[in-house]
Amino acid sequence: MLAFFIQRLMQAAFVMLVVALIAFSLFHYVGDPVLNMLGQEATDADRAALRTQLGLDQTILVQFWQFMVSAVQFEFGISYRSARPVSELILERLPATLELAIVSAIFAVVMGIVLGIYTAIQRGNWLSRFIMTASLIGVSLPTFLIGILLIYLFAVELGWLPAFGRGQVVELTSWWDTGLLTTSGLRSIILPAITLGLFQLTLIMRLVRAEMLEVLRTDYIKFARARGLSRRVVNLRHALKNTMVPVITIIGLQLGTIIAFAIITETVFQWPGVGALFITAVRFVDIPVMAAYLMMIALVFVVINLVVDLLYYAVDPRLRVQGGGK
């Protein structure tokens, strides 16, 4: 167990080190931070002073160490574009992204499981066939097209839901403004959440369906039926429970994907989240924001993968035997 854990931890640390190296070289080799911060009018003495202050006169290794130390404290300097601390910019936009990601994950999981069970139990009727075909088309469409389609249908033509923005927000704590407590906020999150969750929904649905079909064929389900248990109990209590292990793994792995794909959804719906911030940063080559986002998203993925790996280890005894045999 310990060896496995350490090995995985080392791998995670290695990934973070590589990403940090990329982020650092972005800082170091792209443009001149001193020029970027001081502008044209500064004197040479000013520049030299700032250079010493930023530690740019140190050796590369010392600079990299300092970069790592401040990165751990979530300090990435000042955004070139908005001249504000990057950590502040990200923190004020993080709640919007997290709310969107959580709502769409719940939507994807609930609808995915329900539709998966339905299409497995009612296999062959026209509705489940329709759902399966629609899911196939949904998977091959780019996310942003689906978003635009939804905006056109529900915002422009029908006028039911807002087409962009987050609606009205209320202050929850000093840094968390939530849109989930106002009517306009709730109405605003519907379309982005559906857009973001649709791909994961189809994935979970297909997985649940396949697993259910597998389980429904097994003997203990036949025996449960023979005992005269109602269909409902057999399907939900006996069959569903055993399909959940792979589904939970997939859901865990997909959480990171949802945060990554939030970039696209946030752009389509002008959602004021971290993803939209990152896209603007790429467009205007705002290195500090890019570097901070790079580190943040890498950390999210590394942590999720680590947790899933360890969960696997806890769930699957075969891994333990293999590890012990070495």
Partner 1 sequence: MSQPATQHNKDDVMASPKPSKWQGFLDSDIVHSWKQQPVVIMATLMTLLMFMGALFAPWIAPQNPFDPGQLELIDAFTPPLTTSDFTGNFYLLGSDSQGRDVFSAILYGSRISLLVGFAAVFFALALGTALGLVAGFRGGWRDAIIMRIADVQLTFPSILLALLIFGVIRGFMPGSMHAEVAIIVLIIAIGLSDWVQYARAVRGATMVEKSKEYVQAARVIGLPDIKILFQHILPNVMRPVLVIGTIGLALAIIAEATLSFLGVGMPATQPSLGTLIRVGQDYMFSGEWWILFFPGVALLILALSVNLLGDWLRDVLNPKLR
Give min distance, CB of 190 to partner 1, in A.
18
Find the DSSP H helices in the chain: 2-29, 33-38, 44-54, 60-72, 86-121, 126-140, 143-150, 183-216, 219-226, 231-232, 240-268, 274-283, 287-315, 317-325
Nearest to 180 by CA among 168, 162, 192, 191: 168
Among 167, 267, 310, 311, binds partner 1 (CB under 8 A): 267
Encoded amino acid at 178, one letter: T
Matching residue, tokens 């709310």? 99
State which of positions 56-85 bind partner 1 (CB under 8 A). none
Rounded-to-integer distance, Cα 295 and Cα 284, Å: 19
Nearest to 20 by CA among 80, 69, 89, 83: 69
Rounded-to-integer distance, Cα 309 and Cα 6, Å: 12
Among 71, 113, 287, 296, binds partner 1 (CB under 8 A): 287
State which of positions 145-184 bind partner 1 (CB under 8 A). 145, 148-149, 151-152, 156, 163
189 to 228: interface string for partner 1, x by CB under 8 A:
----------------------------------------
Q: Does residue 89 belong to the site contacting partner 1 (CB under 8 A)? A: no
Q: Does residue 30 belong to the site contacting partner 1 (CB under 8 A)? A: yes
Answer yes or no: are the C-beta atoms of 243 and 153 closer than 8 Å: no
Among 229, 248, 279, 319, binds partner 1 (CB under 8 A): 279
* Count, residues in the chain: 326
DSSP 175: S
Among 17, 22, 48, 307, binds partner 1 (CB under 8 A): 22
Among 255, 294, 295, 296, binds partner 1 (CB under 8 A): 294
Output 139 or 244, the one with its CB closest to partner 1: 139
DSSP 85: B
| Residues of the shown chain interacting with partner 1 in the complex, contacts defined by CB under 8 A | 11, 14-15, 18, 22, 26, 29-30, 137, 140-145, 148-149, 151-152, 156, 163, 256-257, 260-261, 263-264, 267-268, 279, 281-283, 285, 287, 290, 294, 297, 301-302, 305
